[in-house]
Amino acid sequence: MDDDRATWRVDDEVLNALVAEAVAQASTAEVVDQAAARAFATHRTLLTAGRELEVELALLELVHDSLELSGARAVRSRDGAQPRSLEFRGQDGTGLEVELRDGVVEGQLLPPRAGRVTVLRGDGAATEVDTDDVGYFRVDGDVTGPVQLRITRGTSTTSTTEWLTW
């Protein structure tokens, strides 16, 4: 056991000597180059994150919620349940109309066109559906709790709603 500790000590001393020699041989230019490379990589990562954040900031504003209509009657379905209707609008004229009823989300992109809708839940689960050519979509299943809708048209246009509790 004492031999093992002595070997470790010798190995540590050899390692320390090698590190000291490598540091002594490194020129200031090499150190600056390495620091610049790290700074560039960090800056590039921040730019990428910034672009992703800009996409997130294309927020669709809630302009109509049937639950907030004071004194108005809700439209009733054939089975007597009261659907909740929501309308979202973006600054660029895009929008989204949504109706919620019995765990089903139905809606349409505005202006009408094909796209993809992602329903994000607070627990991290996500459901994606493609719309038809006029922007209609339907999502069945558990869409309770905090929910956010993300709309993608083409390859780059993305809008998102605020988080809502349905």
Considering only CA atoms, which of 93, 95, 73 is closest in space to residue 83? 73
Q: Does residue 84 share a domain with residue 47?
A: no
Q: Does residue 101 share a domain with residue 153?
A: yes
pLDDT digits (tens, 9 = 90+) for 20-32: 877 777 676 677 7
pLDDT of residue 69: 72
pTM of the model: 0.59
Q: How many domains does the chain have?
A: 2
Q: What are the residues facing 56 on neighbouring strands?
A: none
Record the tokens describing residue 121, joined without a space: 């839940």
The torsion region of residue 50 among left (phi > 0), alpha (psi -120 to 50) and beta comes to: alpha
pLDDT of residue 133: 94
Cβ-Cβ contacts under 8 Å for 139 (sequence gap 6 or more): 104, 105, 106, 117, 119, 127, 129
Q: Does residue 69 share a domain with residue 46?
A: no
Q: Does residue 63 share a domain with residue 140?
A: yes
For 50-70, what is the mean pLDDT? 74
Q: Does residue 67 share a domain with residue 25?
A: no
| DSSP, residue by residue, 42-72 | HHHHHHHHHHHHHHHT-EEEEEEEGGG-TTP
pLDDT of residue 26: 67
Q: Does residue 50 share a domain with residue 73?
A: no
Check pLDDT > 80 for residue 38: no
For 133-155, what is the mean pLDDT? 87
pLDDT grade for 123, boundaries at 50, 70 and 90: confident
Q: Does residue 155 share a domain with residue 80?
A: yes
Check pLDDT > 70 for residue 55: no
Check pLDDT > 90 for residue 78: no
pLDDT of residue 74: 46
Q: Does residue 12 share a domain with residue 71?
A: no
Quote the distance between the C-alpha of residue 38 and its chain's center. 27
Q: Does residue 139 share a domain with residue 104?
A: yes
Record the tokens describing residue 46, joined without a space: 């921040």
According to DSSP, residue 98 is labeled E
The residue with greater pLDDT, 145 or 136, is 136
According to DSSP, residue 34 is labeled H
Check pLDDT > 50 for residue 70: no
pLDDT grade for 64, boundaries at 50, 70 and 90: very high
Q: Does residue 128 share a domain with residue 99?
A: yes
Domain assignment of residue 27, given as a range: 2-55
Q: Does residue 75 share a domain with residue 20?
A: no
| Final residue belonging to a domain, choices 37, 55, 73 | 55
pLDDT of residue 129: 95
Q: Does residue 159 share a domain with residue 79?
A: yes
